[in-house]
Structure 1
Protein backbone atom coordinates (compact mmCIF):
# COMPACT_ATOMS: atom_id res chain seq x y z
CA UNK A 1 0.00 0.00 0.00
CA UNK A 2 1.41 3.40 -0.97
CA UNK A 3 0.29 7.04 -0.61
CA UNK A 4 -1.48 7.28 -4.01
CA UNK A 5 -3.46 4.11 -3.26
CA UNK A 6 -4.35 5.43 0.22
CA UNK A 7 -5.59 8.66 -1.38
CA UNK A 8 -7.74 6.59 -3.73
CA UNK A 9 -9.20 4.67 -0.78
CA UNK A 10 -9.83 8.00 0.99
CA UNK A 11 -11.72 9.17 -2.12
CA UNK A 12 -13.90 6.07 -1.92
CA UNK A 13 -14.52 6.81 1.76
CA UNK A 14 -15.75 10.28 0.75
CA UNK A 15 -18.62 8.80 -1.28
CA UNK A 16 -20.89 7.96 1.69
CA UNK A 17 -19.80 11.21 3.38
CA UNK A 18 -20.96 13.10 0.29
CA UNK A 19 -24.35 11.33 0.38
CA UNK A 20 -24.84 12.02 4.09
CA UNK A 21 -23.96 15.68 3.66
CA UNK A 22 -26.01 16.12 0.49
CA UNK A 23 -29.19 14.86 2.13
CA UNK A 24 -28.57 16.32 5.58
CA UNK A 25 -30.72 19.07 7.03
CA UNK A 26 -27.84 21.30 8.08
CA UNK A 27 -27.52 24.78 6.62
CA UNK A 28 -25.58 24.88 3.35
CA UNK A 29 -25.53 21.09 3.03
CA UNK A 30 -25.49 21.38 -0.77
CA UNK A 31 -22.43 23.64 -0.69
CA UNK A 32 -20.66 21.37 1.80
CA UNK A 33 -21.38 18.33 -0.34
CA UNK A 34 -19.90 20.15 -3.36
CA UNK A 35 -16.80 20.87 -1.26
CA UNK A 36 -16.53 17.15 -0.51
CA UNK A 37 -16.82 16.41 -4.22
CA UNK A 38 -13.99 18.85 -4.96
CA UNK A 39 -11.86 17.40 -2.17
CA UNK A 40 -12.30 14.04 -3.90
CA UNK A 41 -11.25 15.65 -7.17
CA UNK A 42 -8.19 17.17 -5.54
CA UNK A 43 -7.15 13.81 -4.09
CA UNK A 44 -7.54 12.31 -7.57
CA UNK A 45 -5.13 14.86 -9.05
CA UNK A 46 -2.79 14.52 -6.07
CA UNK A 47 -2.61 10.72 -6.13
CA UNK A 48 -1.91 10.74 -9.87
CA UNK A 49 0.81 13.34 -9.47
CA UNK A 50 2.49 11.49 -6.60
CA UNK A 51 2.23 8.13 -8.37
CA UNK A 52 3.87 9.46 -11.54
CA UNK A 53 6.48 11.65 -9.85
CA UNK A 54 7.68 8.95 -7.46
CA UNK A 55 7.10 5.98 -9.78
CA UNK A 56 4.46 4.51 -7.47
CA UNK A 57 2.08 3.41 -10.23
CA UNK A 58 0.62 0.01 -9.39
CA UNK A 59 -1.70 -2.28 -11.32
CA UNK A 60 -4.08 -2.10 -8.36
CA UNK A 61 -4.05 1.71 -8.38
CA UNK A 62 -4.47 1.85 -12.16
CA UNK A 63 -7.75 -0.02 -11.75
CA UNK A 64 -9.00 1.31 -8.39
CA UNK A 65 -8.35 5.00 -9.15
CA UNK A 66 -10.77 5.25 -12.10
CA UNK A 67 -13.26 3.06 -10.22
CA UNK A 68 -13.28 5.57 -7.34
CA UNK A 69 -13.79 8.40 -9.83
CA UNK A 70 -16.66 6.62 -11.55
CA UNK A 71 -18.40 5.74 -8.29
CA UNK A 72 -18.09 9.31 -7.01
CA UNK A 73 -19.42 10.78 -10.25
CA UNK A 74 -22.37 8.38 -10.39
CA UNK A 75 -23.12 9.12 -6.72
CA UNK A 76 -23.13 12.89 -7.30
CA UNK A 77 -25.31 12.57 -10.41
CA UNK A 78 -27.70 10.22 -8.59
CA UNK A 79 -28.05 12.67 -5.71
CA UNK A 80 -28.63 15.59 -8.10
CA UNK A 81 -31.21 13.50 -9.96
CA UNK A 82 -33.02 12.49 -6.77
CA UNK A 83 -33.30 16.17 -5.81
CA UNK A 84 -34.56 16.86 -9.36
CA UNK A 85 -31.72 19.30 -10.09
CA UNK A 86 -30.75 17.44 -13.26
CA UNK A 87 -32.69 15.21 -15.65
CA UNK A 88 -32.56 11.48 -15.01
CA UNK A 89 -31.37 10.94 -18.59
CA UNK A 90 -27.96 12.34 -17.62
CA UNK A 91 -27.65 9.81 -14.81
CA UNK A 92 -28.84 6.94 -17.02
CA UNK A 93 -26.42 7.67 -19.88
CA UNK A 94 -23.44 8.23 -17.60
CA UNK A 95 -24.24 5.17 -15.46
CA UNK A 96 -24.51 2.94 -18.54
CA UNK A 97 -21.22 4.28 -19.89
CA UNK A 98 -19.43 3.94 -16.55
CA UNK A 99 -20.86 0.46 -15.94
CA UNK A 100 -19.55 -0.64 -19.34
CA UNK A 101 -16.15 0.85 -18.47
CA UNK A 102 -16.10 -0.90 -15.07
CA UNK A 103 -17.06 -4.27 -16.58
CA UNK A 104 -14.49 -3.88 -19.34
CA UNK A 105 -11.88 -2.86 -16.75
CA UNK A 106 -12.53 -5.99 -14.69
CA UNK A 107 -12.39 -8.25 -17.76
CA UNK A 108 -9.21 -6.62 -19.02
CA UNK A 109 -7.64 -6.66 -15.55
CA UNK A 110 -8.17 -10.42 -15.38
CA UNK A 111 -6.40 -10.69 -18.75
CA UNK A 112 -3.53 -8.53 -17.46
CA UNK A 113 -4.51 -5.93 -20.05
CA UNK A 114 -4.94 -2.36 -18.82
CA UNK A 115 -5.80 0.71 -20.86
CA UNK A 116 -4.64 3.74 -18.86
CA UNK A 117 -6.56 7.00 -18.76
CA UNK A 118 -5.97 9.41 -21.60
CA UNK A 119 -6.61 13.04 -22.49
CA UNK A 120 -10.23 12.42 -23.57
CA UNK A 121 -11.14 10.92 -20.21
CA UNK A 122 -9.33 13.69 -18.35
CA UNK A 123 -11.08 16.43 -20.35
CA UNK A 124 -14.43 14.76 -19.71
CA UNK A 125 -13.71 14.66 -15.97
CA UNK A 126 -12.76 18.34 -15.91
CA UNK A 127 -15.97 19.29 -17.73
CA UNK A 128 -18.03 17.26 -15.24
CA UNK A 129 -16.37 19.03 -12.32
CA UNK A 130 -16.90 22.41 -13.96
CA UNK A 131 -20.54 21.56 -14.72
CA UNK A 132 -21.24 20.54 -11.13
CA UNK A 133 -19.55 23.67 -9.83
CA UNK A 134 -21.56 25.90 -12.16
CA UNK A 135 -24.72 23.94 -11.32
CA UNK A 136 -24.26 24.91 -7.68
CA UNK A 137 -24.54 28.58 -8.71
CA UNK A 138 -26.75 28.50 -11.80
CA UNK A 139 -28.93 25.50 -12.63
CA UNK A 140 -29.51 26.41 -16.28
CA UNK A 141 -25.86 26.98 -17.24
CA UNK A 142 -24.83 24.03 -15.12
CA UNK A 143 -27.21 21.78 -17.07
CA UNK A 144 -25.78 23.01 -20.38
CA UNK A 145 -22.27 22.21 -19.18
CA UNK A 146 -23.50 18.87 -17.90
CA UNK A 147 -24.83 17.99 -21.36
CA UNK A 148 -21.44 18.94 -22.79
CA UNK A 149 -19.80 16.72 -20.15
CA UNK A 150 -22.02 13.79 -21.16
CA UNK A 151 -21.06 14.27 -24.80
CA UNK A 152 -17.38 14.44 -23.88
CA UNK A 153 -17.78 11.28 -21.76
CA UNK A 154 -19.26 9.46 -24.75
CA UNK A 155 -16.39 10.67 -26.95
CA UNK A 156 -13.94 9.37 -24.32
CA UNK A 157 -15.82 6.05 -24.21
CA UNK A 158 -15.57 5.61 -27.98
CA UNK A 159 -11.89 6.55 -27.85
CA UNK A 160 -11.26 3.90 -25.17
CA UNK A 161 -13.18 1.40 -27.29
CA UNK A 162 -10.97 2.14 -30.30
CA UNK A 163 -7.83 1.80 -28.14
CA UNK A 164 -9.11 -1.55 -26.83
CA UNK A 165 -9.79 -2.85 -30.35
CA UNK A 166 -6.33 -1.77 -31.54
CA UNK A 167 -4.59 -3.38 -28.54
CA UNK A 168 -6.68 -6.52 -28.87
CA UNK A 169 -5.79 -6.83 -32.56
CA UNK A 170 -2.08 -6.34 -31.78
CA UNK A 171 -2.14 -9.16 -29.19
Structure 2
Protein backbone atom coordinates (compact mmCIF):
# COMPACT_ATOMS: atom_id res chain seq x y z
CA UNK A 1 0.00 0.00 0.00
CA UNK A 2 1.53 3.30 -1.09
CA UNK A 3 0.30 6.90 -1.38
CA UNK A 4 -0.93 6.62 -4.99
CA UNK A 5 -2.91 3.48 -4.10
CA UNK A 6 -4.37 5.20 -1.01
CA UNK A 7 -5.45 8.12 -3.22
CA UNK A 8 -7.09 5.64 -5.57
CA UNK A 9 -8.93 4.03 -2.65
CA UNK A 10 -10.06 7.49 -1.51
CA UNK A 11 -11.97 7.76 -4.79
CA UNK A 12 -14.00 4.71 -3.80
CA UNK A 13 -14.76 6.45 -0.48
CA UNK A 14 -15.83 9.63 -2.30
CA UNK A 15 -18.56 7.76 -4.23
CA UNK A 16 -21.07 7.66 -1.34
CA UNK A 17 -20.13 11.24 -0.42
CA UNK A 18 -20.98 12.33 -3.96
CA UNK A 19 -24.28 10.41 -3.85
CA UNK A 20 -25.23 11.86 -0.46
CA UNK A 21 -24.81 15.44 -1.69
CA UNK A 22 -26.44 14.77 -5.05
CA UNK A 23 -29.56 13.08 -3.74
CA UNK A 24 -30.00 15.66 -0.98
CA UNK A 25 -30.26 18.38 -3.62
CA UNK A 26 -26.72 19.73 -3.39
CA UNK A 27 -25.89 18.96 -7.01
CA UNK A 28 -23.17 21.58 -7.41
CA UNK A 29 -21.46 20.44 -4.20
CA UNK A 30 -21.71 16.86 -5.49
CA UNK A 31 -19.98 18.05 -8.65
CA UNK A 32 -17.21 19.53 -6.47
CA UNK A 33 -16.80 16.13 -4.80
CA UNK A 34 -16.50 14.65 -8.28
CA UNK A 35 -13.80 17.22 -9.08
CA UNK A 36 -11.90 16.29 -5.91
CA UNK A 37 -12.06 12.66 -7.03
CA UNK A 38 -10.70 13.74 -10.41
CA UNK A 39 -7.87 15.63 -8.76
CA UNK A 40 -6.92 12.57 -6.69
CA UNK A 41 -6.84 10.64 -9.95
CA UNK A 42 -4.40 13.14 -11.46
CA UNK A 43 -2.30 13.23 -8.28
CA UNK A 44 -2.07 9.48 -7.81
CA UNK A 45 -1.04 9.00 -11.44
CA UNK A 46 1.57 11.73 -11.20
CA UNK A 47 3.03 10.34 -7.96
CA UNK A 48 3.03 6.77 -9.22
CA UNK A 49 4.85 7.67 -12.43
CA UNK A 50 7.35 10.21 -11.06
CA UNK A 51 8.25 8.26 -7.93
CA UNK A 52 8.32 4.79 -9.43
CA UNK A 53 5.32 3.67 -7.37
CA UNK A 54 3.33 1.95 -10.10
CA UNK A 55 1.97 -1.36 -8.82
CA UNK A 56 -0.13 -4.07 -10.48
CA UNK A 57 -2.86 -3.39 -7.92
CA UNK A 58 -2.79 0.33 -8.73
CA UNK A 59 -2.88 -0.34 -12.47
CA UNK A 60 -6.07 -2.36 -11.93
CA UNK A 61 -7.73 -0.29 -9.17
CA UNK A 62 -7.17 3.15 -10.73
CA UNK A 63 -9.42 2.65 -13.77
CA UNK A 64 -11.86 0.64 -11.64
CA UNK A 65 -12.24 3.58 -9.24
CA UNK A 66 -12.81 5.91 -12.19
CA UNK A 67 -15.39 3.62 -13.76
CA UNK A 68 -17.25 3.05 -10.48
CA UNK A 69 -17.42 6.79 -9.83
CA UNK A 70 -18.60 7.48 -13.35
CA UNK A 71 -21.26 4.75 -13.14
CA UNK A 72 -22.62 6.30 -9.94
CA UNK A 73 -22.60 9.74 -11.55
CA UNK A 74 -24.49 8.37 -14.56
CA UNK A 75 -27.04 6.67 -12.29
CA UNK A 76 -27.59 9.89 -10.34
CA UNK A 77 -27.98 11.96 -13.52
CA UNK A 78 -30.34 9.36 -15.00
CA UNK A 79 -32.52 9.03 -11.88
CA UNK A 80 -32.78 12.81 -11.62
CA UNK A 81 -33.84 13.05 -15.27
CA UNK A 82 -30.82 15.14 -16.24
CA UNK A 83 -29.69 12.75 -19.02
CA UNK A 84 -31.68 10.50 -21.37
CA UNK A 85 -31.79 6.79 -20.66
CA UNK A 86 -30.22 6.04 -24.06
CA UNK A 87 -27.09 8.01 -23.15
CA UNK A 88 -26.95 6.29 -19.76
CA UNK A 89 -27.34 2.88 -21.42
CA UNK A 90 -24.50 3.60 -23.86
CA UNK A 91 -22.26 4.74 -21.00
CA UNK A 92 -23.15 1.67 -18.90
CA UNK A 93 -22.46 -0.74 -21.76
CA UNK A 94 -19.05 0.80 -22.34
CA UNK A 95 -17.98 1.14 -18.69
CA UNK A 96 -19.35 -2.19 -17.47
CA UNK A 97 -17.77 -3.88 -20.48
CA UNK A 98 -14.43 -2.33 -19.61
CA UNK A 99 -14.74 -3.28 -15.91
CA UNK A 100 -15.84 -6.86 -16.55
CA UNK A 101 -13.32 -7.37 -19.35
CA UNK A 102 -10.46 -5.93 -17.34
CA UNK A 103 -11.27 -8.01 -14.24
CA UNK A 104 -11.82 -11.17 -16.30
CA UNK A 105 -8.45 -10.93 -18.01
CA UNK A 106 -6.60 -9.64 -14.93
CA UNK A 107 -7.61 -12.71 -12.91
CA UNK A 108 -6.48 -14.93 -15.77
CA UNK A 109 -2.99 -13.52 -15.59
CA UNK A 110 -3.22 -11.20 -18.56
CA UNK A 111 -1.44 -7.87 -18.43
CA UNK A 112 -3.56 -4.77 -17.94
CA UNK A 113 -3.24 -1.85 -20.29
CA UNK A 114 -2.31 1.28 -18.31
CA UNK A 115 -4.17 4.52 -18.88
CA UNK A 116 -3.20 6.23 -22.09
CA UNK A 117 -3.65 9.76 -23.47
CA UNK A 118 -6.99 8.90 -25.10
CA UNK A 119 -8.33 7.48 -21.85
CA UNK A 120 -7.29 10.57 -19.95
CA UNK A 121 -8.76 12.84 -22.62
CA UNK A 122 -12.04 10.91 -22.48
CA UNK A 123 -12.17 11.37 -18.71
CA UNK A 124 -11.63 15.13 -19.05
CA UNK A 125 -14.33 15.30 -21.73
CA UNK A 126 -16.76 13.43 -19.45
CA UNK A 127 -16.04 15.85 -16.61
CA UNK A 128 -16.79 18.74 -18.97
CA UNK A 129 -20.02 17.06 -20.07
CA UNK A 130 -21.10 16.64 -16.45
CA UNK A 131 -20.21 20.27 -15.74
CA UNK A 132 -22.36 21.38 -18.71
CA UNK A 133 -25.23 19.15 -17.52
CA UNK A 134 -25.04 20.35 -13.91
CA UNK A 135 -25.12 23.96 -15.05
CA UNK A 136 -27.93 23.14 -17.52
CA UNK A 137 -26.20 24.49 -20.63
CA UNK A 138 -28.37 24.07 -23.73
CA UNK A 139 -25.77 22.01 -25.65
CA UNK A 140 -24.92 19.69 -22.74
CA UNK A 141 -26.69 16.56 -23.99
CA UNK A 142 -25.39 16.98 -27.55
CA UNK A 143 -21.89 17.33 -26.14
CA UNK A 144 -22.48 14.25 -23.95
CA UNK A 145 -23.27 12.19 -27.07
CA UNK A 146 -20.04 13.41 -28.65
CA UNK A 147 -18.11 12.28 -25.55
CA UNK A 148 -19.86 8.91 -25.59
CA UNK A 149 -18.70 8.42 -29.19
CA UNK A 150 -15.13 9.37 -28.21
CA UNK A 151 -15.28 6.92 -25.30
CA UNK A 152 -16.15 4.04 -27.63
CA UNK A 153 -13.23 4.95 -29.90
CA UNK A 154 -11.01 5.01 -26.81
CA UNK A 155 -12.28 1.57 -25.77
CA UNK A 156 -11.46 0.21 -29.21
CA UNK A 157 -7.92 1.61 -28.87
CA UNK A 158 -7.57 -0.07 -25.45
CA UNK A 159 -8.72 -3.39 -26.90
CA UNK A 160 -6.10 -3.15 -29.67
CA UNK A 161 -3.40 -2.26 -27.09
CA UNK A 162 -4.53 -5.16 -24.89
CA UNK A 163 -4.25 -7.61 -27.78
CA UNK A 164 -0.75 -6.39 -28.66
CA UNK A 165 0.34 -6.40 -25.01
CA UNK A 166 -0.83 -9.96 -24.45
CA UNK A 167 -0.11 -11.57 -27.81
CA UNK A 168 1.88 -14.76 -27.75
CA UNK A 169 5.01 -14.83 -29.83
CA UNK A 170 5.05 -17.96 -31.98
CA UNK A 171 8.31 -19.87 -31.99
CA UNK A 172 9.57 -21.09 -35.40
Q: Name the TM-score, length of structure 2 as normaliser.
A: 0.92
Q: Aligned to 2:113, what secondary structure does the other structure show?
A: coil
Unaligned runs of 5+ in 1: none
Who is 1:164 aligned against? Answer: 162
Shift of 1:165: 2.5
* Equivalent of residue 122 in structure 1, options 120, 123, 127: 120
Contact 1:123 1:152 in 2 (8 A): no
Shift of 1:166: 2.6
Shift of 1:167: 3.0
Where do residues 122-161 of structure 1 align in structure 2 (5 Å cutoff)?
A: 122-161=120-159
Q: How many residues align?
A: 168
RMSD of Structure 2 on Structure 1 (CA) = 1.3
Query: Equivalents in 2 of 1:62, 1:164: separation in Å?
Result: 13
Where do residues 3-152 of structure 1 align in structure 2 (5 Å cutoff)?
A: 3-25=3-25, 29-110=26-107, 111-152=109-150
Shift of 1:146: 1.1
Contact 1:62 1:116 in 2 (8 A): yes
Shift of 1:147: 1.0
Greater CA drift, 89-98 or 43-52? 89-98
Shift of 1:78: 0.8
